[in-house]
Structure 1
Amino acid sequence: MATAVQADQVVELYRADALVKSQSQAQREAAAKHALERVLIRVSGNTAAAESPQARQALARAQDYVYEYSYASTDETLEGPNGEPVPASRLHLKFSPASVEQLLRATGLSFWPANRPTLLVWVVVNSADGLEVVRDEQVWQALRERAELRGLPLMAPLFDLEDHLAMPAESLWRMDESAIRNASERYRADAILTLRYSALSDGSLRGNWQLLHSEGDLGFDGAGATAEELLSGAIDSVADRFAGLYGISPSESGAASIAMLIDNVHSFGDYKKAERYLASLALVRRVQLHSIGANGLMLNLYTEGDVARLENTLALDRTLLPASESVSLSENRYQIRGSLLRPLRYRLEGAQP
């Protein structure tokens, strides 16, 4: 049992590594192309992200999207021109978030923010030796690699005595939801994925999996020639589900669309005062009324900058004052701040009571 399977997997959206034979520009360009493809998949949540004409053009000049790179020595080798082993270096590439997100907007792809649910995974196999909780490092390495590509923070059980007693293979195979939730409580994961699989007569594998999550529990099934292939498909199913839930569609004309709730505006005069003030800000391109209700005034702001820049601008004077967030507007902490489900909350100074 390797200690590596016990650690949480951290999501780094805009970073990718590659093994290279040398530090030449040609090697770096080739590595950057493949790395940018992985980054587009991870940031968009879409495995077809690199297939559009705009994306293919960007991949041809992938180094334009790199803002930092470095090399590290390794003990690994790559195949040389004559089949001989060549010492390999690891190239670390960091891509510009602004440039990548601009590319996603240009291609019409969604953006999946970095605040993503932590996924605890349990795996059980029905083999000739009976039911067994999977601890095999090769299987977990395949899970980690696919989760890294899709940008899922993966968590593995500790496989200690407490897990052995709380989560027997038989309960996993039955997908006993009560037992799974109880055994998983200590990990405080945001979602739980239970996978079970067995071999068919032709040697292929067949399995199904269950996702337990606050946004609804789902079941999936699939097949594969190997356990790694089957489990990678399971990770893809979960990533597709989360990307659909939390991905943000491109805003109009490339401008940032920020939702703001001004919770003490209930009169037409105060509405016009707030609208005129926001429209006067240099970074605000357009102010659009979304709704006026019991919670206050909801606006869509189309800006030249992001949420942080807008907040910094508003802090320069005290026409609008920050108000605390209300969980009743959104129980979902994975919705990005500034979305309609989690708007920025402010109060208008001097508004009528």
Structure 2
Amino acid sequence: MIRIHVLFRALIGCLVWVSVSSVVLAVEVKDLYQASVPVADRTVKARSTAVSNGFLDVLVKVSGSSLIAQQDVIREARSNAERFVVQFGYETREMPAAEEGARPVERTYLNVKYDVAAINQYLRRNGYPIWSSNRPSLTLWLAYDNGRGRKLVGGSAQQNLQALAMVHASRRGLPITFPKYDTRDLSRVSSGDVWGLFTDPVIAASERYQSNAVALVKMNNSGGIVNLNSVVVIDGQEQWWEHSSASLDEAVSDLVDQLADRVGGYYAVVSSQDLGQQVLLDVSGVRNLDDFAGLGEYLNGLIAVRYSFPETVQGAQVRYLVTLENNMQTLVQSFRLDNKLIPVEAPKPVKLSSGESRPLTTSASAMGAATVDESAATADPERITPSASDQGAVEPGVPTVPAPEPTLPVIYYQWQG
């Protein structure tokens, strides 16, 4: 076994991170810290208002929650939003109309880029969540009735409505995919399934899109009011709601906000003000310097991770001491979403010559972790597995020996790169 600081002295000069392509379910969302805000003109007053509105848009997009707009501390920060600005510029472009056949509207926008570190620091300091740029994809099955018949939105149908939904999805940083509604989809899902919000056949048909979440929406536009009934399924958990909007444009905007709030609420991480939970992460499949560098880069880039420190290396296996921003669940969600670390079973105990079994042990760092007994890990790789000492009966009059301090939980994964 090699202590990792010894390995660093030998290799630090030649470690170069090389990205390794892999198939992942999540989508890397760009421009999370940028906003594009419509302006009536290019005056200083209009720009100041747009910078304030864009600042709020970015906070909502990065936190994954539109509810923060109602907080007093956010209102105060908006009055001084210019201090977060890095760059701005103007652009004229078309905004798609919701109804088929309607002409797009040309508008002038102020594009603003905000400081990434300052935004993240502000959210953490005020106890708001941060949703990483590696985000779950969502397949949206939408049935729309405008009084002239029921239509499925996707493929080549209702492209204006699709384009408008994509604009609002970009505003919230939510990757959305509409079904193709080709022969493969239509052989498994009918318009009645979507309109009736029957989740089972739709979820089965969504497997081809490799999405992390699936939404079914029934949108009925009649009498000037747009009524929506919706359900989103995230990790097998269903969330149902209904709401009404005064126009089709507003209905699409409200729908995307609801979806983003619910998906963001599941995946975004609220940082703890105290020292976060610590866990020992055993990673196998680290076969070369590229794997080692890529794994370290990946762990340090996770919003769920505050610090990660490689403790020991044994062959192709590396043990990290990981300090979390929040709790174990957020870390496991990140791993499951990215698909770069795959859960595996804990190592089996080593057979001694006497026939007895002894678990593999690895020394932990001087950062507070005691010796870790890996045999305490269960076959469930995502379960927290602290080791335990045998608790025997104590005879009367015999001094009680204090039990050893509990060790850190250990989880086992394999690096996929």
Using the TM superposition, give the Cα deviation of residue 117 of structure 1 relative to its aligned residue in structure 2, in angstroms.
1.7
Structure 1 pair 319/33, CA: closer, same or farther in 2 (3 Å)?
same
Q: How does 1:290-305 map to 2 (within 5 A)?
A: none
- Report what 2:229 is aligned to: 208
Of residues 216, 229, 232, the one that matches 2:253 is 232
Asked if 2 retains the 8 angstrom alpha-carbon contact of 1:115 and 1:334, the reply is no
1:140-180 deviations in whole A, cap 9, x for unaligned?
23322332333321112234443344433122223333321
| 1:101 is the counterpart of 2:88 | no
Of residues 323, 327, 331, the one that matches 2:319 is 323
The separation in 2 between residues aligned to 1:237 and 1:90, in whole angstroms, is 25
The separation in 1 between residues aligned to 2:107 and 2:240, in whole angstroms, is 42
- Report what 2:280 is aligned to: 262
RMSD: 4.1
Using the TM superposition, give the Cα deviation of residue 138 of structure 1 relative to its aligned residue in structure 2, in angstroms.
3.4
The separation in 2 between residues aligned to 1:130 and 1:307, in whole angstroms, is 46
The residue type paired with residue 204 of structure 1 is I
1:177-236 deviations in whole A, cap 9, x for unaligned?
332123222211111111113245x44232311212215122222222333333433333
The residue type paired with residue 45 of structure 1 is G
Asked if 1 retains the 8 angstrom alpha-carbon contact of 2:278 and 2:321, the reply is no
Using the TM superposition, give the Cα deviation of residue 71 of structure 1 relative to its aligned residue in structure 2, in angstroms.
4.5
| 1:122 is the counterpart of 2:141 | yes
Using the TM superposition, give the Cα deviation of residue 61 of structure 1 relative to its aligned residue in structure 2, in angstroms.
2.2
Structure 1 pair 45/309, CA: closer, same or farther in 2 (3 Å)?
closer
- Report what 1:137 is aligned to: 159
Task: Report the 3-state secondary structure (helix = DSSP H, G, I; strand = E; otherwise coil) of the residue aligned with 2:203.
Answer: helix
The residue type paired with residue 216 of structure 2 is T
| 1:241 is the counterpart of 2:262 | yes
The separation in 2 between residues aligned to 1:162 and 1:121, in whole angstroms, is 17
Structure 1 pair 332/46, CA: closer, same or farther in 2 (3 Å)?
closer
The separation in 2 between residues aligned to 1:44 and 1:319, in whole angstroms, is 36
| 1:223 is the counterpart of 2:244 | yes
Task: Report the 3-state secondary structure (helix = DSSP H, G, I; strand = E; otherwise coil) of the residue aligned with 2:142.
Answer: strand
TM (norm. structure 1) is 0.64
The separation in 2 between residues aligned to 1:89 and 1:227, in whole angstroms, is 22
- Report what 1:4 is aligned to: none
| 1:41 is the counterpart of 2:60 | yes
- Could you tell me which runs of 5 or more consecutive residues in structure 1 were left unpaired when the two chains were aligned: 1-7, 77-86, 265-305
The residue type paired with residue 260 of structure 1 is Q
| 1:14 is the counterpart of 2:33 | yes
TM (norm. structure 2) is 0.55
Asked if 2 retains the 8 angstrom alpha-carbon contact of 1:105 and 1:250, the reply is yes
The residue type paired with residue 266 of structure 2 is L
- Report what 1:61 is aligned to: 80
Task: Report the 3-state secondary structure (helix = DSSP H, G, I; strand = E; otherwise coil) of the residue aligned with 1:332.
Answer: helix
- Could you tell me which runs of 5 or more consecutive residues in structure 2 were left unpaired when the two chains were aligned: 1-26, 96-105, 283-302, 323-327, 344-361, 374-417
The separation in 2 between residues aligned to 1:16 and 1:88, in whole angstroms, is 15
Q: May I ask how many residue pairs the two structures share in their alignment?
A: 280
Q: How does 1:126-165 map to 2 (within 5 A)?
A: 126-134=145-153, 135-165=157-187
- Report what 2:291 is aligned to: none
- Report what 1:112 is aligned to: 131
Using the TM superposition, give the Cα deviation of residue 22 of structure 1 relative to its aligned residue in structure 2, in angstroms.
6.7
The separation in 1 between residues aligned to 2:321 and 2:280, in whole angstroms, is 11
Asked if 1 retains the 8 angstrom alpha-carbon contact of 2:29 and 2:134, the reply is no
Using the TM superposition, give the Cα deviation of residue 20 of structure 1 relative to its aligned residue in structure 2, in angstroms.
4.9
Task: Report the 3-state secondary structure (helix = DSSP H, G, I; strand = E; otherwise coil) of the residue aligned with 2:237.
Answer: coil
Structure 1 pair 262/246, CA: closer, same or farther in 2 (3 Å)?
same
Using the TM superposition, give the Cα deviation of residue 60 of structure 1 relative to its aligned residue in structure 2, in angstroms.
2.0
Asked if 2 retains the 8 angstrom alpha-carbon contact of 1:246 and 1:335, the reply is no
> 159-168 vs 173-182, which deviates more?
159-168
The separation in 1 between residues aligned to 2:260 and 2:93, in whole angstroms, is 31
